[in-house]
Amino acid sequence: MKKLVCAGEILVEIMAERIGQSFRAPGPLVGPFPSGAPAIFIDQAARLGQPAGLIAAVGDDDFGHLNIERLRADGADISAITVHQGAATGTAFITYETDGSRHFVYNIKQSAAGLIEMGAEARALLAGADHFHVMGTSLFSPEVIEVARNGIEAVKRRGGTVSFDPNIRKEMLDLPGMRDALHFVLSKTDVFLPSGPELFTFAEATDEEGAAREMLDRGISTVVVKKGAQGAVHYDRSGRIASPGFVVDEIDPTGAGDCFAAAFVSFWLRGEGPKRALEIANGCGALAVTKKGPMEGIASLAEVEAFIATSRTGAPA
């Protein structure tokens, strides 16, 4: 089976217990939960039985070991996760507003996550990789952009493939080096996985189909637009396929996009058709939102298949 690799931040997530709770006053918190978009992605792929490894850095503390042990237990390759003495693992504190929006207090760049580098272990992991996944959120400094470039170039040299989840806020486009980095990534991308309006970040067209077609014309072979509870839409040269989401109670949406992307890319790498890849991906995304904590809803292939067999779907996207 093909091996996929991702690089970027490992974090713990700590959540306000009540909706509408402010971080400007003391209050009850839950966590730490293992987190970080690349870690969520790799953990979900590994749980589906895909060989998957992560290039990352943590501190020599409980938050770092919590993540490493979860990834190891779920079958991920942790050989390129560096443990730094004297640096603290990255954190994200999250509170949910009453309107459903999220408010974050991050410590990523200044944490051990900012110490990620292309060491001997990372090079060894990439020497056995067939696919590299890029997360827009992980391109937060020149050092991590360099790791992503190395990853892309290493798999492309071996005839491998690249997927890209932009997961990017418009303000991030103005960070130094960001536009160049994103254009480089897009020029190498085989599978593009924007969520909703992110599709339009790199396109002139203002309608979904037109924007997807522009991305295909750039040489991307597959575009999958994630649409939350509505599921997802797949575009390639042969047309458009919409796949409805599964009906679940949403407890915590964080991480759904990463679980979806991991499942879609794993099945795409196995040569499965878009209908099956979308169904498994929608199943993983739906299960992800049913638990508090971004990695707590991650399902094995047997679990997601059992869920799909007994679930109702909504209207197609």
In angstroms, what is the minimal distance from the CB of 167 to Mg ion?
A: 4
Q: Which residues contact 217 (CB under 8 A, 6 or more apart)?
A: none
Taking CB within 5 to 8 Å according to partner kind, which of Mg ion, ligand ATP, none is near residue 248?
ligand ATP
In angstroms, what is the minimal distance from the CB of 95 to ligand ATP?
A: 15
**Of residues 171, 212, 13, the one with CA closest to residue 94:** 13
- What are the start-end ranges of the E strands in 180-276? 191-192, 222-226, 232-236, 239-243
Q: Are the beta carbons of 253 and 294 closer than 8 angstroms?
A: no
> Which of 95, 150, 195, 222: binder of ligand ATP (CB under 6 A)?
195
Mark the segment that binds Mg ion (CB under 5 A) among 117-125, 165-173, 212-220, 227-235. Answer: 165-173
> Which of 32, 231, 274, 297: binder of ligand ATP (CB under 6 A)?
231
- What are the start-end ranges of the E strands in the chain? 4-7, 11-16, 29-35, 52-59, 81-84, 90-96, 102-107, 131-135, 161-165, 191-192, 222-226, 232-236, 239-243
**252 binds ligand ATP per the rule CB under 6 A:** no
Report the alpha-carbon distance of residue 88 to residue 60 in Å, rounded.
7
- What are the start-end ranges of the E strands in 191-288? 191-192, 222-226, 232-236, 239-243
* Range 232-271, binding Mg ion (CB under 5 A): 257
* Range 71-90, binding ligand ATP (CB under 6 A): none
Nearer Cβ to ligand ATP (46/199): 199
Q: Which residues contact 301 (CB under 8 A, 6 or more apart)?
A: 47, 48, 49, 280
By the 10 Å C-beta count (0-12 exposed, 13-18 middle, 19+ buried), 86 is classed as: exposed
Report the alpha-carbon distance of residue 245 to residue 10 in Å, rounded.
28
> Which of 91, 95, 254, 266: binder of ligand ATP (CB under 6 A)?
254
> Which of 42, 282, 295, 304: binder of ligand ATP (CB under 6 A)?
282
**195 binds Mg ion per the rule CB under 5 A:** yes
In angstroms, what is the minimal distance from the CB of 7 to ligand ATP?
A: 18
> Which of 257, 274, 293, 297: binder of ligand ATP (CB under 6 A)?
257
Size of the site for Mg ion (CB under 5 A): 3
Query: Would you state the structure tokens that stand for residue 275, as one six-digit string?
Result: 């209908």
Per-residue contact track with ligand ATP, 155 to 194, x per CB under 6 A? ------------x---------------------------
Which residues are at the interface with ligand ATP (CB under 6 A)?
A: 167, 195, 226-229, 231-232, 245-246, 248, 250, 253-258, 260, 282, 285-286, 289
Which residues are at the interface with Mg ion (CB under 5 A)?
A: 167, 195, 257
